[in-house]
Amino acid sequence: MTASYKIASNRLLNTIHETASKFGAKGIWGPRSTETGVCRLALGDFDKGVRDWFVEETTQLGCKIKVDKIGNIFAIYPGKNDGAPTGIGSHLDTQPTGGRYDGIYGVLSGLEVLRTLKENGIVPNYPIAVVDWTNEEGARFSKSCMASTVWNGSASLEKTYAMKSITDDVPVTVEEELRRIGYLGDVEASYKVNPLACHFEIHIEQGPVLENENKKIGIVVGGQAYQWYKVTVHGKAQHTGTTPLMARSDALLTASKMMVKGNEIAKKYGGLFSVGTLNLEPAVANVIPELVTFTLDARHVQDEELAKILSDCKSEFQKIVEQEDSGKYASVEFEHIQTSNAVKFDDECISCVRDAAIELFGKDQVREIVSGAGHDSCSTSQVIPTSMIFIPSREGVSHNPEEYSTPEQVAEGFEVLLGAVLKYDAKRTK
């Protein structure tokens, strides 16, 4: 179906590289000029630059621009009928050590959809909005999906305005920075006042599944649930030379057993268990650690199974503490940090993605997948029909300058997005 349209080869990829080089290129990983990452922190000068550029490009295509009170930009391409736009969104901000694709690929693919419609003289049934969601990464202001959660009504605008940056020597608030860069809009940041009919998002997988299985397209059916805990393991600081093994309460040995066990539990349930940070005290080579704290990040596609993983972790860690060789001073505490429930995307949106992908590449080249990471689509899915498309990530690397998908993968994903959006638009009756 999309094969009947003229698609500009390489334009999307060139746009990705041109905007990367103008707005925050950083982190050289190869000899070519395109082989760097991007550091474009939310509401900073590079973010302002790419926003200005995005507004200018979409305005030239005939879009009406709406900027809401949290800085989300809606570039609305007109349709035959009025109505809530069909949405295509992602984010233009990055991690401090970000790549060229995470988020950016989604917004620029939306732009490429509009360019393609324009060039082919296609007027959709309903408007199509390309959305740049503010601060998806949560790197400069420490909340991921910051602005899409204001828009969906789950986060407070006032509290979000007051958040302070953590990457500046002199912290500044979200509101101050929105005003400074000229993106403190006047449209209510609300899906009720400024609605979308649906939300499609194309993104790099950020994992190795598609690459390992040699698939072109991931049809994202939802997002997995996750919970974070801070785990504190107590022991007793003693001299490493003078304390027999059986007289020790070695908090690091106890924590090590927990980490091994946590992985076994996650494996049993088909979920994930990770420890990304760990601190110990007193941290002296010849003193047995008496305090170990670590973050526990557990994930599963089903909330119920995640609950089992966590329940098992709590009971098994307690059993480890009670083992004789954990020592008489051993104890463990769990402090809940965050829960994100499983997300289930919309069947109709998923069908549009599936049909477009299979038409283009055949059943063997696509697979259903669950998003491991959070995305703005997880926010939109709480209030409007939503789905996502993944393309392969080289070695699953992301949040790293070396993040990479091939030119072919970038182009193939875009074609699926274009097809899915047009299918959805074709089915719309209001």
Binding positions for a copy of itself, rule: CB under 8 A: 205-209, 212, 224, 226, 228, 236-245, 247, 250, 252-253, 255-257, 259-260, 263, 266-267, 272-278, 280, 282-289, 295, 297, 299, 325, 371-374, 395-400
Cβ-based nearer residue to a copy of itself, 80 or 328: 328
Nearer to a copy of itself, 34 or 256 (CB): 256
Nearer CB in complex with a copy of itself: 253/420:
253
CB of 388 to a copy of itself, least distance (A): 13
Q: Tokens 């809401």: give the residue.
A: 68
Cβ-based nearer residue to a copy of itself, 282 or 407: 282
C-alpha atoms less than 13 angstroms from C-alpha of 33 in its C-beta half-sphere: 8
Residue placing its CB nearer to a copy of itself in the complex, 104 or 197 = 104
Pairwise CA distance, residues 43 & 72, whole Å: 11
In angstroms, give the least distance from the CB of 397 to a copy of itself.
7
- C-beta of 183 vs 226, nearer to a copy of itself: 226
Residue 245: CB minimum distance to a copy of itself, A: 6
The pairing of beta strand 291-300 with beta strand 343-344: unpaired
Distances (CA, A) of 29 to 204, 298, 391, 407, 430: 19, 31, 21, 17, 48
Identify which of residues 189 and 219 has a Cβ nearer to a copy of itself in the complex.
219
CA 156 to chain centre: 20
Structure tokens given for 98: 């970000």
Taking the complex as a whole, the smallest distance from the CB of residue 130 to a copy of itself amounts, in Å, to 25
- The minimum distance between CB 277 and a copy of itself, in angstroms, equals 5
Q: In whole angstroms, how close is the CB of 140 to a copy of itself at the nearest point?
A: 15
Maximum C-alpha span of the chain: 82
For residue 401, the minimal CB distance to a copy of itself (Å) is: 12
Beta carbon of residue 117, minimum distance to a copy of itself (angstroms, whole number): 32
* CB closer to a copy of itself out of 170 and 245: 245
CB of 103 or CB of 289, closer to a copy of itself = 289
Nearer to a copy of itself, 160 or 227 (CB): 227
At closest approach, how far in Å is the CB of 339 from a copy of itself?
Answer: 14
The span from the CA of 26 to the CA of 274, in Å, is 28
Residue 100 or 115 having the CB closest to a copy of itself: 100
Q: How far is the CB of 260 from a copy of itself (least distance, A)?
A: 5
In the numeric block, which tokens belong to residue 344?
């289930």
CB of 256 vs a copy of itself, minimal distance in Å = 4
CB 261 within 8 A of CB 342: no
